[in-house]
Chain A
Amino acid sequence: MRLLAMRTTKLLGAVFTMLFVGVAHGNSAADLFLIKNAKIVSDQGISSELTDIAIRDGKISSIGKDLELSQDYQVIDAKGMPVSSGLFNANSQIGVREVSAVAATVDAATKNEHFTASLRIVDAFNPSSVVIPYNRVQGISHVLIQPSPGSGLFSGIASVVNLSGGDSVEVRQAAMVVRLGNTGSEVAGGSRAAALAMLREAIEDARDYAKNKSSFNAGNRREYSLSRHDLQALIPVTQRRLPLLVYVDRAADIERVLEFGREYRVSLILGGVSEGWRVADKIASAKVPVLFDPIYNLPSSYETLGTRLDNAKLLHDAGVTIMFTGMGWQSTHNAYLVRQSAGNAVSNGMPYGAAIAAITTNPAKIFGLPSYGEIKKGKEANLVVWSGDPLEVMSTPRYVFIKGKSIPLVSRASRLRDRYYSRIIESNKK
C-alpha cells in the first residue's frame, strides 16, 4: 500500500509539474533534461573533463560545470559517459526504401525520363518507416536522403531529414545529385566523355532557359536537352545556390569534374572518390568537400582500382573536408553503422576528431543546417549519451535526444527480440 501511495504521489507530482511548466513555459517536464557529468565528443575528440548539459525548448539551454537547475529537470547522470551530437549519415534512403526487393516500398528512383533533376526524393519520405526508430535508437539523428540513379544523368535532389518520426524535413534542397563515371557513361551511350558533355549541355540549357523562360514558353526557343521542370530544378545549381553532388571515382575523372566546376562556375561536392587520394591536393585547393564510405578497399570496377582504407587519412592530410556514409551497401537499413565506417577510418590513420566531424559538423555546415552538429548553448538538442567511445563497435546509446525530445529506445527489432528472448528462457526451463 505504501508503495502504491508513493507512486500516486509521484505521479501526481509529475502531473502538477507538467501542468505548471506547461502553462508557464510552453514546455512539459518531460522535455526538461539535465545531463550531468558527460564527456563531450566533438571534432576536438573526447574531452577529458566532465560537463553538464541542460535541454529546454528543444535546445541546449545551458552547458557548463556543475549546473544547478530547478527540480523540474529530469537528471541523467552520465557518470563520465561520452555525449555526442546525434550522428549524421550523408548518404541514405531512410524513409524512401522500406524493403529493397519489394518495389512498391521503394521510392528512391524513377525510370521516368521526364523527371531527373526535378525529382524531389523527399516528397516520398515516410516518417513512419520502421527503419527510422531502428536507426535513431542506435544514435543517428539526421541523414541526407539521396535518390538512386534513374534514367537520366541527374538522379534528383537530396534532402536532409531528421529521424524524429514527426516533422522531419530539415533542408528540402540540399544538393543536386549527378553520376558520372561508369554510371554516367551508361546513361550517355557508352562513354564517360559523353556523360560530361551531357552535363555541360544541361548546365548551358538551364542558364539559357533561366534567361529566356517566356520565349521558351511561347515556343520561340530551341529545344533543350532536359524537360522544363528539370531545367527549372537546375537553375539554383547554375547560380551556386545548390551544390552539385557529383559521383565520380577515378582520379582522372575527378580532375575533369574539378575543371568543369571551375569552367561552369558551379559549387561542387564529390561523392565516391575512390581514387581521391591520388588527386587530394587538387581537391583541397579547389575547396571541394567529399562524401564517401571509408570502408571500401577493393577494386569493384576498373574505375575504383585505387580504393584504399586510408583514403580518408590521405584526403584529410591534404586538407580536404570529408563527410561519411556507410557502412557498405547497408547505409539505409543500418545507417547507424556509419560510425563503424568512421571508426575504421580512424583505425587506418584518420584523426579521431576529423572522423567525428565527418559524421556531425561537416554535413551540417555543407548542407546548411546551422543549428545542428555542435554541442553548444543555443544549438538544437540532438544528443546521444553513449556507453563508451561512439566510434567503438561495442558502444551503444544509453539516451537519445532529437530536437530536445527523449527518444524511447524501442524499435520493431527490440520488440521481436524481447518476445523471443522470453520464449527461449521459457524453453530452457523445460
Chain B
Amino acid sequence: MLRQSLLALTVASALTACATTPSNLSSVEENSLESKQESRAFDSTYTIPDAPRYFLEGATILTGTGEQIDNGNLLLSEGKIEALGTDIRAPEDAIKIDASGKWITPGIIDVHSHMGVYPNPSIRSLADGNEIVGPVTADVWAEHSVWPQDPNFEKAIAGGVTTVQILPGSANLFGGRGVTLKNVPSVTMMGMKFPDAPHALKIACGENPKRVYGQKGGPYTRMGNMAGYRAAWIDAKAYDKKWTDYEKKVADGDAKAEAPKRDLELETLRGVLKGEIKIHNHCYRADEMANMIELSKEFDYEIAAFHHAVEAYKVAPLLAENNICGVVWADWWGFKQEAFDIVRENAALLELAGACAIIHSDDEIQIQRLNQEVAKVMSAANDMGMELSRAQSIRWITYNSAKSIGLEDRIGSLEAGKNADVVLWSSDPFSVYAKAEKVWIDGAVRYDRGDKTVTPTSDFNLGIIDPEEDRP
C-alpha cells in the first residue's frame, strides 16, 4: 500500500492515484486528493514577497472594468487591492506615493507570448518554441521549454506587463499546452508559474500546418487540417470514455478497477473536453473561425479565443454569440495570404459587435508597449466615428485578456479583493511618451524605472559586454 502510494506520488497522476485511494474516503475528499496530486508535478512554487502597504494618491485610474476615476486613490495591501476611489484615505502605515498627473492601470496581460520558449538571443540552441515534428503534438507543454533567463521578461515588465500566457508555436494542428506565468524573476519556470491557472491548448488553422506538413504526410490542405482535428477529437472522445468509465468504477468502490494507460496527447484533449484546458486557436480567416466553431459543437467543447484573428471583424457577431474572444494585433498584416485583409479598427469592431476584444503581441518588441497598440486602434476607430474611451479600450489588454485565460476573478481589473497587479504610468498611457514608472505584482514592486535594484537583471545580462556592467 505504501509503496503504491509513493509510486502514485512519483508519477504524479491523480488518475493513477485513484487506484490506491482507500475506499473509505468520501468522494469529495477523493476529489480533493485527486486534484492535489494531479497538480503536484510542475506545480507553481511562486510565493508573494513581503511588501508594505502602498497608497497611490491623486492619479487618473483606468480600472479595467470600463471605468475611469479622476483624481483617484488606490490602496494596496497584503498582495491585494484593498480599496480605490476618490474618497479613501491613506492608512498611517502605508507608503504614500504622489501620483498626481500620473495614470494607473491594471497590470497588462499578454495572452500570446513566446518569451522564454523563443528567447533572445534568437539562436537555434535556445529556440524551443515549437515541436514541429508532427501535426499533432498536444502532448508537449510550453512550460517545459521556458528559459527563465530570457532577457525579454524584464523588458516586458518595463512596459507594464505583469502576466503572460506562453504558447507553443503554430506549425502544428495541435501545438501543445500553453502556460500562464507571472512576470517575476526566477531561476525555475515553476517560480514564475501562475498558481492554479488553467493550461491552454494551442491549435492552429490555415496556412501554417499545410505549409509545414504538406510534403511530410499532410495535412496538405485546409480540408486536411479539418480532418486532422476531427480524427484527434474522435480519439480524445474514446479516451475520455475509457477514463470516465474507470473513474466511475473507482467512485463506485471497485477496488480492482484497472487504470487505463495514460496518453499525454489525449490527456490534453480530454482536459479540453472536461473544460479544464482553454483553447487558444491561432486562426486568421473568418471562414475558418466559423468552421472551428462548428467543430467545437461537433465534439462539445468550448473555444476561449481565436488568436491572430486578422479577419475577426468579419465574424464579430458570431464571436459575440459564441462567447469567444477575438485576439488581434493592432496593425500587422501582409506577411502571408491569410493576413491580407487588415483593418486597423479590428479590435474596435469586435467591441462594437459586443464581442470580447483582446490585443496580443506575439512579439518581443510589441509586448513592451501594448498600451501604444491599444491607442492606435482606439484612435483609428474614433477617427471613423466610433466613440471609444480609454477606459473601455484598456480592457483589451487587461480584463478581457484575463477572461480568455480564465483568471478574471483574480487579475485584469482594479477592484477590491483582486490581486494587486498595478502599473503606475508617468502620463497618459495612450501616449507614445508615457512610461511605466512602477509596476506591482501581488502588491510587491517588481519594476521601478528609477531604481534598477528592485528586480535583478537576467543572468544573461551580467558582464556580457563589459565585465563590470550589465547589458543595457
Contacts and interface: CB of A to CB of B under 8 A. Distances in A.
Interface in A373-430: 387, 391-396, 413-414, 416-418, 420-421, 424-425, 427-428
A47 interface: no
A344 B343 contact: no
B122 A333 contact: no
B207 A101 contact: yes
A73 B335 CA distance: 42
A347 B375 contact: no
B249 interface: no
Interface stretch (A108-116, A147-155, A291-299): A291-299
Contacts of A344: 369, 432
Interface stretch (B41-49, B220-228, B378-386): B378-386
A414 B354 CA distance: 21
B383 A396 contact: yes
A389 to B, nearest CB: 9
Given A298-B365, A305-B471, A347 B435 contact: yes
Given A296-B365, A298-B151, A99 B340 contact: yes
Interface in A235-274: none
B316 A424 contact: yes
A330 interface: yes
B337 A417 contact: no
Given A300-B121, A413-B343, A392 B332 contact: no
A247 to B, nearest CB: 17
A181 interface: no
Contacts, number: 143
Contact of B353 (A98, A346, A428): A428
A277 to B, nearest CB: 9
Contact of A101 (B123, B152, B335, B345): B335
A421 B336 contact: no
A215 interface: no
A393 B121 contact: no
A330 B343 contact: no
Contacts of B369: 344
B313 A420 contact: yes
A306 B471 contact: yes
B1 interface: no
A343 interface: yes
B342 A424 contact: no
Given A395-B379, A413-B342, A421 B430 contact: no
B84 to A, nearest CB: 26
Contact of A98 (B317, B334, B376): B334
Interface string B362-378: 01111011001001101
Interface string B297-325: 00000000000000001101100000000
A102 B337 contact: yes
Contacts of A308: 472
Contacts of A417: 313, 343-345, 349, 384
A334 interface: yes
Interface SS of B by simple majority: loop
Contact of A394 (B335, B342, B366, B431): B431
A427 B353 contact: yes
Nearest to A97: B334
A212 interface: no
B334 A131 contact: yes
Contacts of B314: 420
Contacts of A421: 345, 349, 352, 384
A371 interface: no
B197 to A, nearest CB: 26
B372 A340 contact: yes
A293 to B, nearest CB: 9
B144 interface: no
Nearest to A326: B365
A391 B334 contact: no
Contact of A328 (B344, B363, B460): B363
A305 B430 CA distance: 30
Given A100-B334, A102-B336, A328-B363, A346 B433 contact: yes
B472 to A, nearest CB: 4
Contact of A299 (B120, B331, B334, B431): B120
Interface string A113-136: 000000000000000000100100
A301 interface: yes
A387 B384 CA distance: 13
A396 B380 contact: yes
A393 B379 contact: yes
B206 to A, nearest CB: 11
A427 B345 contact: no
A19 to B, nearest CB: 36
B410 interface: no
B465 A306 contact: yes
B333 interface: yes
Contacts of B435: 347
Interface string B347-361: 001001110000000
Given A99-B337, A337-B331, A347-B435, A300 B122 contact: yes
A334 B432 contact: no
Contacts of B380: 396
Which interface residue of A332, A347, A420 has the most chain B CB atoms within 10 A? A420
A308 B460 CA distance: 15
Contacts of B120: 298-300
B237 interface: no
A188 B349 CA distance: 50
Contacts of A295: 365
Contact of A333 (B334, B343, B460): B334
A348 to B, nearest CB: 9
A344 B317 CA distance: 36
B468 to A, nearest CB: 15
B333 A298 contact: no
A139 to B, nearest CB: 13
Contact of B432 (A101, A134, A330, A392): A392
Contacts of A420: 313-314, 316, 343, 349
Given A101-B335, A299-B471, A393 B465 contact: no
B155 interface: yes
A332 B334 contact: yes
Given A298-B155, A416-B343, A394 B317 contact: no
B341 interface: yes
Given A100-B336, A396-B380, A301 B122 contact: yes
Contacts of B151: 298-299
A120 to B, nearest CB: 23
B334 A396 contact: no
A302 B432 contact: no
Contacts of A343: 432-433
Contacts of B375: 393-394
Given A332-B334, A417-B384, 9 more contacts: A295-B365, A299-B120, A299-B460, A305-B464, A333-B333, A393-B379, A394-B378, A396-B379, A428-B354
6 contacts: A101-B335, A302-B121, A334-B333, A337-B331, A394-B430, A396-B383
Interface of B: 120-123, 151-152, 155, 207, 211, 313-314, 316-317, 331-337, 340-345, 349, 352-354, 363-366, 368-369, 372, 375-376, 378-380, 383-384, 430-435, 460, 464-465, 471-472
Q: Which 8 A-B pairs have the closest CB atoms?
A: A333-B334, A343-B432, A101-B336, A308-B472, A417-B343, A394-B379, A427-B317, A100-B335
